Amino acid sequence: MSYKNFPMVPRVVFGRGSFNQLNDIIAPKRLSSHAPFIFLVDDVFKGNVWLTSRIPLSYQDKILYISANEEPKTSQVDELVEQLILTNKELPSGIIGIGGGTILDLAKAVAIMLTNTGNASDYQGWDLVKNPAVYHVGIPTISGTGAEVSRTTVLTGPERKLGINSDYTPFDQVVLDPELTKDVPKDQWFFTGMDCFIHCIESLNGTFLNAFSQSYGEKAYDLCMEVFMDDALSAEDSQDKLMMASWHGGMSIAYSQVGVAHAMSYGLSYLLGTKHGIGNCIVFNHLEEFYPKGVTTFKNMMRLHKIELPQGICASLDDHHFDTMIDVALSLEPLWENAIGKHWKKTITRDKLKALYQKM
Ligand code: NAD
Ligand code: ZN
């Protein structure tokens, strides 16, 4: 048995207002006056002076505002990379992603594709990236996905939704400033936060569990319980704790795997474009038989925060549609093996998944 040797984010700063230090952090990484820093910023911040006035721009540095309405695509990464190569004399000094999982994943993928030939879709999978990425920095503005610590960047490609998992994917630097999450809308806060909660449940109840994953998963779970079940928490404490929950949840699945909710949610996302956070919630709501305690707690959290999930999103689908979702879900074999065990194929049949999707 050989154990995986994982890279981790080598530098992280944590603290309310730490975003103010961005210039000091990145300035030493500038390669030349022709090698700009490129800031990929969620377009929800366009015109938001509180945030954008603190983005340090010099020489030919640029802000590119990007919509997070759709999750990142391989074609979008390829277009951004081409644009950056055409408009600059030299490779950028760094790519800085400011936003949620969507923007963080884009920043990681663009940094990788600037130094690797071909298309982003060529690298979807495990350990296919050959050259180190351009220096890249992640600055989350919403907490839960763990994309700020993970070794993957999840992209929807022509054939599948799959991550670029590689040693070059993790950020070189992360800035954790919980204050940046203060204006996240309530529903979105819940859905992305539940991504973290579901990471914990899937990791802690998986067959791949080990002391490494458990230690991070339990901490993330406890923080989620404080954030989502204790209404005495101040807004600031809640933001701080959820940001650290996301970090620990991401670390927990590094050395294990996610499970049933993620496998089925990838199917919804591929066919219907359902976004990760809400998609996980729609699926998880029907997974009592796999995660009885986790689902009960989840329902209590929904009640406490008055969250309504969309109903009947699969109501008008035909057999062909169900087959597509089931194919995507079943192709994620490690997730099923983690959730059910080595012999998962005995119980996880196409009919079983169809019946579950029909409830959603
Ligand atoms: P997101 O980035 O899609 O953003 C969700 C919404 O919140 C968007 O409308 C965005 O504009 C808004 N938003 C973000 N910050 C805000 C702020 N401070 N104020 C107001 N609005 C704000 O959401 P997400 O749930 O963080 O990310 C989902 C993506 O993350 C998916 O593409 C998923 O595949 C990916 N993901 C990646 C990993 C990984 O390890 N790489 C893990 C889990 C999920
Ligand atoms: Zn997730």
Average pLDDT over residues 197-222: 97
H or E segment and range at residue 99: strand 94-99
**Distance between CA 321 and CA 327 in Å, rounded?**
10
d(CA 155, ligand 2 centre) in Å: 13
Provide the angle, in degrees to the nearest 10, between the axes of the packed helices 319-331 and 350-359: 110
Average pLDDT over residues 16-25: 98
Is the pLDDT assigned to residue 136 strictly greater than 80? yes
Average pLDDT over residues 127-147: 98
Tell me, what's the pLDDT at 161? 85
Encode 280-314: b = buried (16+ Cβ within 10 Å), e = exposed: bbbbbbbbeebbeebbebbeebbeeeebeeeeebb
Q: Average pLDDT, whole number, for the chain?
A: 96
d(CA 221, ligand 1 centre) in Å: 20
Is the pLDDT assigned to residue 231 strictly greater than 90? no
Tell me, what's the pLDDT at 203? 97
d(CA 146, ligand 1 centre) in Å: 10
Contact 344, 337 (CB under 8 A): yes
- Using a 6 Å cutoff on CB, does residue 192 contact ligand 1? yes
Write out pLDDT tens, residues 295-308: 999 999 999 999 99
Tell me, what's the pLDDT at 1? 73
